[in-house]
Structure 1
């Protein structure tokens, strides 16, 4: 199973964070399947790759450590394919989500850690 993770600290009011995350995921060809105040789960819209390559994204919002102006989120993008090549489909989808979060205009990036 391919799995890629990253963590961000974003300068954004916590009240507008969730809508922004949803917009980023939808712009990256994901469909939201689960949405709570602490967690957003999405799956890649089928049609372009085989079922095993379809990516899933999970975003954990760390509300316990959030301040009025900053929030930490953890992002995981994974699928069922074995990561036999560095540039596999899951990694490409991870790059899309990562770049989407970095470039989203309604918040400011404070810190980003890819791991």
Structure 2
């Protein structure tokens, strides 16, 4: 299973973070599958790649340690593909998400770790 993790800080209130996340995810062609107060799950649209390569993203909004306008957010990007090639589909989608987040002034990167 390919799996990539990163952490960002959203320069927004806890209430604004889900909207910011939805905008970024939709710009990368991910659809929200589940949304709770401090958790989101999104998936890549089926049909473009084989089923085993469909990427899902789990997002934890760390509201318990959030400050007024700084909310830590952890992203886990994964799929069922074996990461035999370092430039696999999951890694490509992870990089696309990282680029989208870094281009937005609302997000500041903390870490990005392949696992």
2:44 is aligned with 1:50: no
TM-score, normalised by the number of residues in structure 2 = 0.93
Deviation at 1:108, TM superposition (A): 4.4
2:31 is aligned with 1:31: yes
Q: Runs of 4 or more off by more than 3 Å in structure 1?
A: none
Alignment-derived partner of residue 88 in structure 2: 88
- 5+ residue gaps in structure 1? none
Partner SS for 1:14: coil
Among 102, 112, 115, which residue is 1:114 paired with? 112
Partner SS for 2:16: helix
Deviation at 1:62, TM superposition (A): 0.2
Deviation at 1:88, TM superposition (A): 0.2
Alignment-derived partner of residue 40 in structure 2: 40
**Contact 2:9 2:72 (C-alpha < 8 Å) held by counterparts:** yes
CA distance in 1, matches of 2:37, 2:98: 21
- 5+ residue gaps in structure 2? none
User: Which 10-residue stretch deviates more, 75-84 or 20-29?
Assistant: 20-29
When the two chains are superposed, the root-mean-square deviation of aligned CA atoms in Å is 1.1
**Contact 1:21 1:101 (C-alpha < 8 Å) held by counterparts:** no
TM-score, normalised by the number of residues in structure 1 = 0.93
Alignment-derived partner of residue 61 in structure 2: 61
